[in-house]
Structure 1
Amino acid sequence: MSIKGLEAGYEESMVIREIDMEVEENQVICVMGRNGVGKTTLLKTIIGILHPKEGSIHYQSEDITKARSSSRAQKGMGYVPQGREIFPKLTVYENLLIGLEAGKQKKIDEKIYDYFPILKDFAKRNGGDLSGGQQQQLAIARALVAHPSFLLLDEPTEGIQPNIVQEIQDVIIDIKNTSATSMILVEQNLDFVKSVADYLYVIDHGSVVYKNPIDQVEDDEVYRYLSV
């Protein structure tokens, strides 16, 4: 994916400005920044929920800047929004079936249950009856059932107990090691970022203020932009 000069916002308010980003196949990019600096707006623009006011997005050599989010999903893009947004009145299994609609898969791959065994145990339980961490597992699994080639995750570890954070970390690493899937991950936990990412971007006031390969990231420099 190639993002050039991306600017987007809400009505007359510009939230992200002149964002340039390159994501290679099988690469995990992490985006960090304080609350309200434009991280979620960036993901919503990439997936097509918001349309950019300026700039371009190319995916698999195709200009998708004006494409609908449904079209992007059909091209292999998956999205796990902040706050999970599962269907609370549907069962776990029914939530996963909805995820299949975004891709060409006809049935749920057993590997999804290998990643998150609790979802198989609770397949008939309503999504709204799960704990917050279990709902996050369901939201990620629902995106994965379509076998996306590009996955966007918005703060997947926020408010999640440590054992489930570890499961999510293991899943991201396994996907990275066993597929060609690329990912952009918004995250606040730098230790988590350093365990899964290849490259880090930091956003402040809607613009990229820091970027580096993960093995060259200096913690003090990153925290300087994250402090209030």
Structure 2
Amino acid sequence: MIELLIVTSILSMLMFVGTYSYSLFTGKWQEDIGQFAKINHEASNFQRLNVILSNLMPYVVRKDNDQPGFFFIGGKDSLLAITHDGLFSQASAEAFRLMAMKTDDEKYKLIYQAKPLNALTINTASQSIDFSDKITLFTGLDRIEFQYFGWASFVEKSQASTGKNAPKPRWFTVFSGLDNQTFPERLRLTLYRDEKQIDFLITLDTNMARWLSPYLSEEVL
């Protein structure tokens, strides 16, 4: 009888250990699958974001004073522009807004909002846009920074080849294609997380004059 109790106790202990080990294994397996899915999702979004930014479009609109400029409003933590290759429309370019949004845990997420141009006509800079589509690209970020490399104005760029002391392009934290009447030549987006950073450095159209010149008066030219 005592031997039977001992055997029963041993079997019960083995079953407990086996059940506990299986629970740990399945928990770790599910955790690994979840981590893999997250990494795969972010890798896909890195590629998608790179395509969006690599296909920015020098889209000309007019300000309220009829002055032409580019539909490009770049801030320190946001960007409003047009891309040939957006996330929601395969048949049309998209007006989009990328923006950093602070979350309850004091982190940031990067949001992409868009409206296809086949459902929208942008004629003036003051025109409001009702973005119909939205997606969160990244979460848990410590910081998000945009920078823009280019000229302070169309006139400054036109003077670039005038001599030794001619103005040069430089980096800006804020860049308005409407006020500057220029389009940036490069764009840098940096995502910070856990003391690491990932940079998107995009080269854009450097010959913006060919897009704007038809809209400028002969006096400006």
Task: Specify the TM-score bucket, using the shorter chain as the normaliser.
Answer: under 0.3
Between the two structures, name the one with larger relative contact order (CA 8 Å, sep ≥ 6).
Answer: 1
TM-score normalised by L of structure 1: 0.22
* Structure that is richer in strand per residue: 2
Larger radius of gyration: 2
Q: TM-score, length-normalised on structure 2?
A: 0.22
Which structure: greater helix fraction?
1
